Amino acid sequence: MRPLHATAFALFCLVLAQPLVAQKEKPEPLTEAQIEQIREAGIDPNGRVALYTKFVNEHADTIKGLTSRSKSMARAKRLDEELQNLTALMDELGSNLDLFSDRHADIRKALKPLTESSERWLGILRALAGEPGFDLARKEAIESGEDLADQAKRLLAEQTEYFNLHKDEQGQDRAEPK
């Protein structure tokens, strides 16, 4: 009878532990005020892209500021967190670009500053020497930054070509089916 009790107890512990794993969430890379600004931008593609670019710039500046501090466990932990937040924001920005691109929204106005900023972000990330405390997060951030930079350049070229052919759709938030 004892093995049955042990098995039942183990199963009970697993059932209790499952909600705890589900409750562990990644930290939100945006403040409540920033989230509200994104919400207010709503479906304005250029506004949303510009806001995300601004927020990624702020995280990149924080990372740059941390690089000059003396090495410590606290610095490594903070850099790891900031790098993860930066990666999450760049990935979220990339998802927004995909969405707006699929809609044929004219986001060229926001893509130009994004393209310039993404090169700056990559410069900051590449200048940051890897350390065991944040090396994986640094590599992921560089990869995400490269993907975003490539996506922004490609979209700018595609959109320039598309809107040269479809001048009647320039400046629209989305192309309406005809």
Q: What are the tens digits of pLDDT across the range 94-134?
A: 999 999 888 888 899 999 999 999 999 999 999 999 889 99
For residue 87, count CB atoms less than 10 angstroms from its CB and return exposed for 0-12, middle for 13-18, buried for 19 or more.
buried
Q: What pLDDT was estimated at residue 21?
A: 41
CATH code of the domain containing 93: 1.20.1050
| Host domain of residue 40 | 32-169
**8 within some domain:** no
pLDDT digits (tens, 9 = 90+) for 34-91: 999 999 988 789 999 999 999 999 999 999 999 989 899 999 999 999 999 999 999 9
**21 within some domain:** no
Q: What pLDDT was estimated at residue 26?
A: 61
Q: What pLDDT was estimated at residue 10?
A: 43
**24 within some domain:** no
Q: What pLDDT was estimated at residue 139?
A: 97
For residue 103, count CB atoms less than 10 angstroms from its CB and return exposed for 0-12, middle for 13-18, buried for 19 or more.
middle
**177 within some domain:** no
**103 within some domain:** yes
**62 within some domain:** yes
Q: Please state the domain count of the chain.
A: 1
**159 within some domain:** yes
CA dihedral sign of residues 53, 103, 142, 40: positive
